[in-house]
């Protein structure tokens, strides 16, 4: 991934993983007021969106997808953390760069009504379908999303650091 700004990976999730995570995400959204560790209106989003930091299921996905991430990036990686978000009508994501724990990240489209909520990475517009992932260098390239004009879109973000890089001490998101 040396000179690449991003890499789109079709079918980052297997069909059965998409189905499982879609069902789980719908239940999370339906019951979010009863959940611990919710963060309403964070990361520059709006409405009743919420996200989950280090949810057990998504932390398991973070570990499960480590070999695929290493293959796609050609790097040895340490996992740092997962973050799940349900975007709803009118949501957006402000242009930003990430913190050191997000040296190498993938945003994975879990579910949504269409692919009309692209991520912009360094000015390039990338559309995804459920199951697709976009790997990018979160601390190097600015990224954002425009305004969502559909009911919802569900994403999970999996974050890693290079085992041989300057951010290796952030493995498991321990150094903040």
pLDDT digits (tens, 9 = 90+) for 94-134: 999 999 999 999 999 999 876 789 999 999 999 999 999 99
The pLDDT of 83-87, averaged and rounded, is: 91
Query: What distances in angstroms separate CA 159 from CA 69, 77, 151, one per listed residue?
Result: 10, 10, 26
The predicted pLDDT at position 51 comes to: 82
DSSP, res 122: T
**Choice among 21-30, 42-51, 138-147 with the minimum mean pLDDT:** 42-51
Report the alpha-carbon distance of residue 67 to residue 64 in Å, rounded. Answer: 7
The pLDDT score that the predictor gives to residue 35 is 53
How much is the pLDDT for 48?
Answer: 57
Tell me which DSSP letter residue 26 carries. H
Is pTM, for the whole model, over 0.85? yes
What's the pLDDT score for residue 44? 46
Distance CA 168, CA 106 (A): 17
Paired tokens of 23: 């069902």
Question: Rounded to 5 degrees, what are φ and ψ at 50?
Answer: -150, 160
Only one residue has tokens 């913190």, namely 99
Cβ burial, residue 105 (10 Å; 0-12/13-18/19+) = buried
């Amino acid at each position: 991934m040396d000179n690449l700004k991003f890499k789109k990976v079709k079918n980052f999730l297997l069909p059965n993983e998409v189905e499982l995570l879609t069902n789980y995400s719908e239940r999370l959204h339906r019951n979010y007021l009863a959940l611990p560790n919710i963060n309403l209106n964070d990361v520059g989003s709006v409405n009743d969106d919420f996200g989950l930091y280090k949810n057990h299921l998504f932390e398991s996905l973070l570990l499960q997808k480590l070999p695929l991430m290493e293959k796609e990036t050609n790097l040895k990686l340490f996992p740092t953390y997962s973050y799940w978000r349900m975007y709803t009508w009118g949501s957006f994501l402000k242009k930003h760069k990430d913190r050191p724990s997000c040296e190498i990240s993938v945003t994975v489209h879990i579910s949504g009504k269409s692919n009309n909520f692209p991520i912009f990475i360094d000015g390039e517009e990338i559309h995804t379908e459920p199951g697709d992932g976009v790997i990018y260098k979160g601390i190097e390239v600015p990224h954002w999303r425009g305004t969502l004009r559909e009911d919802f879109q569900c994403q999970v973000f999996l974050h890693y650091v290079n085992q041989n890089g300057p951010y290796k001490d952030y493995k498991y998101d321990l150094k903040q």
